[in-house]
Amino acid sequence: MGWAQVALDAHYPTDTLGGLCTALAVVPATAWLVDRTADRITGRPSNALRRPQG
């Protein structure tokens, strides 16, 4: 979608690159936050950063 905006002269290339970089930062952070919130609501422990014991 970003290349189309540049091709139509609707945005500068740096605008689309900035949007891509923002998305690469925001999407994983939002997914982590949603997962953490869901774990707290359901009462499950978050095992993402814990080592298996044994």
Residue type present at position 48 = A
* pLDDT at residue number 25: 97
Q: Any residues with CB less than 8 A from the CB of 20 and at least 6 apart, and which?
A: 2
Q: Which amino acid is at 4?
A: A
Give residue 44's pLDDT: 75
**Which whole-number Å values give the CA distances from 7 to 2, 12, 17, 21, in the listed order?**
9, 9, 14, 19
- As a whole number, mean pLDDT of residues 25-46 equals 89
Query: Which tokens in the block code for residue 38?
Result: 């869901």
Distance CA 44, CA 38 (A): 8
pLDDT score at 32:
93
* Structure-model confidence comparison of residues 47 and 5, the more confident one: 5
Q: How confident is the model at residue 39 (pLDDT cuts 50, 70, 90)?
A: confident
pLDDT band at 17 (very low <50, low <70, confident <90, very high): very high
